[in-house]
Amino acid sequence: MKNLIFGIISILLLVSVIAQDDATSTSSDSKTNIPPETDETDETDVGIAPDSAFYGLENAFKKISLALTFSKEAKARKELDIARERLREVRLMIEENKLDAAEKAKIRHEEISQKLKARFENKVDADEDEIELQAEIENEIEEQEAEIGDIKTRIEIKGELSDEQRAKLMELVENLKSSGNDVRLKIDSRKDRLKIKLKEKGLTEIEIEERIKSERETGSDNALTNRIEHVKREIEKSREHLDQNKNNLDNDKLAELRGQLDTADETLSEAGKKVEEKKYDEARELINKALRLAVLVRGNEKRFEANREILRDELKREVGEERLERAREKLREKEERLEVKRERLEARKIAEDSEDEDDLEEIDDEETKDEFEDKTEEGIRK
């Protein structure tokens, strides 16, 4: 009877894992066409968690699912998705103070990282699928690096850890970073091999970089927009945390912490502008700092105060400088428009003095066009 029950559970788990992997694979294959606002992935939804008795069984079924995936591109995407899931498991187990389970997830992450390293050493072809895959894996590894940074921040603020436990978890984070760095080296090596193949087909270095950059942009737009939404949720969690603990804080401290969350919000707004401007590295840095500040607010120990204040002042300065630069740019544009108008006034005076009707008509057309553009810009601002 026990064997029958175990068999039924195994079948159900296998169906669940394969369905989950298929959905993930479909999402990966079409993610460049999904608008960011439709991505409602729950960062805490990791399927069967490492503290479950069925965790080992789920891992076995994932291996079967990978073995039944024959496309090398689909295999790579599945392995990247599993690596991301393992990082989320680590984070979730740390949040729930299940440190042994977090270690278990870390070990699984190292195993899938080894598979990815081997995968990226394979031969590459000079075709569009390979360029698209290269762009996807570069984006994904950056997102996973951000995930590891998030895990580190949560360890830093976790109050119920002993010094020994915190040191052990920080070592865990360093191991995750090391695995990620090894994978990144293989990705860079793969890119070099892909470039050689594409050059053999007649493409130049610049053309290759532009093709990869173009593929990466859509993925970066979506990934960073989704990450901004994730950080907004973290800010909201921190606001709720302050509301729940406001009786334990004096008014000045409560106002200070709420002000830090306002700074995190403003930073996210700047990050969104950077995404629109295609300045992804700058956007990513601002998002990570906003997340760090939002999560640090939940750390009530004295040792976090200096970190929060330094980070807040740094972000205020960065955000302020960005706004100042935009104001300067608008002023320069306004000055250029005024100079054009001055030149037209002089041209009109000369045309009127010479009674040249053609010149006057051309100037009138240009002025009408400028007035229309000014009103359009004013409408957009409103």
Per-residue pLDDT tens for 347-372? Answer: 767 766 665 566 556 656 665 655 55
Do the domain assignments include residue 14?
yes
By CB atoms closer than 10 A (0-12, 13-18, 19+), residue 375 is exposed
Q: Please report which confidence band the pLDDT of residue 30 belongs to, taking 50, 70 and 90 as the band edges.
A: very low
Which pLDDT belongs to residue 109? 95
Distance, in Å, from the CA atom of 34 to the CA atom of 21, rounded to the nearest integer, reads 18
Q: What is the pLDDT of residue 303?
A: 56
Confirm whether 250 is domain-assigned: no
Picking from 259, 182, 270, 187, the residue whose alpha carbon sits closest to that of residue 224 is: 270
Any domain includes 211: yes
70 belongs to a structural domain: yes
Q: Tell me what pLDDT residue 336 has.
A: 77
Q: Is residue 200 part of a domain?
A: yes
- Residues 150-176: what's their mean pLDDT? 87
CB contact burial 296-320 (16+ within 10 A = b; e otherwise): bbbbeeeebeebbeebbeebeebbe
Residue where a domain terminates, one of 215, 235, 251: 215
137 in a structural domain: yes
Span 27-54, average pLDDT? 58
Contacts with 85 (C-beta within 8 Å, 6 or more apart), sequence order:
46, 47
Residue 99: predicted pLDDT:
92
Nearest Cα to 261, choosing from 240, 246, 239, 280?
239
374: pLDDT strictly greater than 70: no
Please compute the mean of the pLDDT values over residues 31-55 and round it to a whole number.
62
Closest CA to 265 of 197, 198, 341, 316: 316
**Is there a domain that residue 307 lies in?**
no
Higher-confidence position of 315 and 136? 136
* pTM of model > 0.75: no
pLDDT at residue 139 in the model: 92
Query: Which tens digit of pLDDT belongs to each residue from 256-265?
Result: 889 889 988 9
Continuous segment of H or E residues that includes residue 141: helix 128-157
Instruction: Identify whether residues 8 and 141 lie together within a single domain.
Output: yes
- Mean predicted confidence (pLDDT) in 276-296: 89
Q: For residue 3, give its domain range.
A: 1-37+44-215
In the predicted structure, residue 97 carries a pLDDT above the cut 70: yes
The letter for the amino acid at 347 is A
Q: Is the dihedral of CA 228, 232, 237, 239 positive or negative?
A: positive
361 phi, psi to nearest 5 deg: -65, -40
Q: How many domains does the chain have?
A: 2
- Comparing 107 with 35, the larger pLDDT belongs to 107
Give the angle subtended at the CA of 216 by the CAs of 230 and 65, to the nearest 5°. 75
Question: Quick one: pLDDT at residue 358?
Answer: 61
DSSP 144-203: HHHHHHHHHHHHHH-TT--HHHHHHHHHHHHHHHHHHHHHHHHHHHHHHHHHHHHHHTT-
How high is the pLDDT of residue 326? 59
The pLDDT-based confidence of 160 (bands split at 50, 70, 90) is confident
User: What radius of gyration, in Å, describes the C-alpha atoms of the chain?
Assistant: 27
Residues 89, 209, single domain; the answer is yes
Given 215, 245, 273, the domain boundary residue is 215
pLDDT of residue 240: 93
What is the per-residue pLDDT for 40?
Answer: 45
**Domain endpoint, select from 166, 191, 215:** 215
Q: Mean pLDDT, to the nearest integer, of 114-122?
A: 93
Please give the pLDDT value at position 300.
56
For residue 78, tell me if it sits in a domain. Answer: yes
pLDDT at 252: 87
- Please classify residue 66 by burial: count the beta carbons closer than 10 Å to its beta carbon, then call 0-12 exposed, 13-18 middle and 19+ buried: middle
Least confidently predicted of 48-57, 178-187, 244-253, 367-376: 367-376
The per-residue pLDDT of the chain, averaged, comes to 79
